[in-house]
């Protein structure tokens, strides 16, 4: 497409879901694309926690009965707990440990535990997935909604990446 590595990397970082796939895709294009894709994806990962918290607050206050306001325990029950783990790990490895310690711990985690847990997560998702239900005729509008949203995301992200990172 003739995109610069900066634009291509930012586009990849903004549209690919998993961080590992972003890194691999960026590396395939080049070192600069890899750096830009990782920076964009990292920013998305950080903002995911903020978005999850805002959404949990919104749905807690929206509720089904407008006369009842949620208590702290309701907010805590609805809050996605993975955000806390992500935040604690990010703060620890940003301010407490040096970069080499983080890399060493990452190498240890990659040797088995990470792959095992990742595999188990996908096996569990597979156990819950019923393709007969997903592809029923009455679900067609949901499938088209998803595909339309993905296409919109890809085009909008390319436009924003091009506007922000094109070389003039």
Distance CA 6, CA 3 (A): 8
Query: What share of the chain in percent tops pLDDT 90?
Result: 33
Please check the confidence at residue 63 and state whether its pLDDT lies above 70: no
Read off the pLDDT of residues 10-35 as tens digits, 9 standing for 90 and up: 999 999 988 888 998 999 999 999 99
Read off the pLDDT of residues 111-138 as tens digits, 9 standing for 90 and up: 767 778 778 888 888 888 888 888 888 9
Please, what is the average pLDDT of the chain?
A: 84
Name the residue ranges covered by the structural domains of the chain: 5-96+130-165
Among 34-38, 52-56, 152-156, whose mean pLDDT is lowest? 52-56
Instruction: Burial-class residue 2 by CB neighbours within 10 Å (0-12, 13-18, 19+).
Output: exposed
Task: List for the chain the helix, strand, coil content (%; round to 5).
Answer: 80, 0, 20
Distance CA 23, CA 110 (A): 15
Threshold 0.75, pTM exceeds = no
27: Cα separation from own chain's centroid: 19
126: Cα separation from own chain's centroid: 20
């Amino acid at each position: 497409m003739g995109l610069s590595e900066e634009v291509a990397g930012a586009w990849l970082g903004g549209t690919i879901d998993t961080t590992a796939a972003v890194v691999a895709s960026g590396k395939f294009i080049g070192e600069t694309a890899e750096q830009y894709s990782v920076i964009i994806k990292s920013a998305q990962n950080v903002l995911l926690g903020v978005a999850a918290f805002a959404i949990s607050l919104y749905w807690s206050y929206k509720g089904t009965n407008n006369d009842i306001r949620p208590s702290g325990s309701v907010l805590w029950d609805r809050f996605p707990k993975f955000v806390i783990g992500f935040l604690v790990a990010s703060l620890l490895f940003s301010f407490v440990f040096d970069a080499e310690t983080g890399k060493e711990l990452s190498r240890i985690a990659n040797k088995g535990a990470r792959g095992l847990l990742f595999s188990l997560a996908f096996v569990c998702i597979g156990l819950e997935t019923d393709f007969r239900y997903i592809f029923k005729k009455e679900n067609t509008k949901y499938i088209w909604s998803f595909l339309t949203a993905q296409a919109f995301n890809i085009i909008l992200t390319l436009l924003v990446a091009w506007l922000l990172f094109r070389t003039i």
